[in-house]
């Protein structure tokens, strides 16, 4: 067994970084991360991620988009495969455009019931051209 509290060399205080590595990141660090289109325009930020209970894979990032000072914001689920982390942007980049988002399935903060409806999730997948059935078991 590994002792995670044991000091490791190479860190200034001997403590192990617990929320990010070269290839892993904690979900709470993903939340709030900006999302950019391929031209570098900020589209919004990640509100939360949706993880498959059975397989443990991130299926969607829910993009917070629009509104002013937190009022009138809408939430747009994006299939995770449409996001790529960019060190240059210190955020995620997607080929999804603002125009595509405006026509995408979404919900406001008072209405997130769509997740329990497989048909609604299917409409998200269809909108973004995600392989049919890839999230059907979620």
Instruction: Read off the CATH number of the domain in which 80 is found.
Output: 2.30.30.240
Percentage of the residues of the chain whose pLDDT score is greater than 70: 70
- DSSP-derived letter for residue 119 is H
Residue 120 in domain: yes
Q: pLDDT at position 68, please?
A: 67
Of 2 and 100, the one with more pLDDT: 100
Residue 135 in domain: no
**pLDDT tens figures, 62-78:** 998 776 665 677 889 99
Residue 49 in domain: yes
Of 85 and 16, the one with more pLDDT: 85
Backbone angles phi, psi at 42, to 5 degrees: -75, 125
Highest mean pLDDT among 5-19, 40-54, 124-138: 40-54
Q: Does the pLDDT at position 134 exceed 60?
A: no
Q: How many domains does the chain have?
A: 1
Terminal C-alpha separation, the chain:
33
Burial class (CB in 10 A: 0-12, 13-18, 19+), 113: exposed
**Residue range(s) defining the domain that contains residue 106:** 30-128
Residue 64 in domain: yes
**pLDDT tens figures, 21-45:** 777 788 888 999 999 999 999 999 9
Residue 18 in domain: no
Q: Does the pLDDT at position 5 exceed 80?
A: no
Residue 15 in domain: no
Residue 76 in domain: yes
**pLDDT tens figures, 91-117:** 999 999 888 888 888 888 656 666 667
Tally Cβ neighbours within 10 Å of residue 33: 16
What's the mean per-residue pLDDT of the chain?
78
Q: pLDDT at position 88, please?
A: 94
Q: Which residues pair with 76 in a beta bridge?
A: 63
Q: Taking the model in full, what pTM does it have?
A: 0.75
Q: pLDDT at position 2, please?
A: 40
Residue 137 in domain: no
């Amino acid at each position: 067994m590994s002792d995670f509290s044991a000091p490791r060399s190479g860190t200034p205080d001997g403590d192990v970084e617990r929320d990010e590595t070269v290839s892993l990141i904690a979900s709470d660090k993903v939340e709030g991360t900006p999302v950019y289109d391929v031209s570098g325009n900020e589209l919004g930020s990640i509100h939360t991620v949706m993880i498959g209970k059975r397989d443990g894979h991130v299926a969607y990032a829910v993009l917070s988009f629009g509104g002013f000072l937190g009022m009138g914001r809408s939430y747009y689920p994006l299939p995770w495969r449409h996001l790529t982390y960019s060190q240059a942007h210190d955020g995620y980049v997607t080929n999804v455009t603002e125009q595509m988002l405006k026509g995408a399935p979404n919900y406001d903060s008072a209405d997130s019931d769509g997740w329990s409806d497989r048909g609604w999730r299917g409409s998200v997948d269809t909108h973004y051209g995600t392989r049919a059935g890839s999230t059907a078991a979620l």
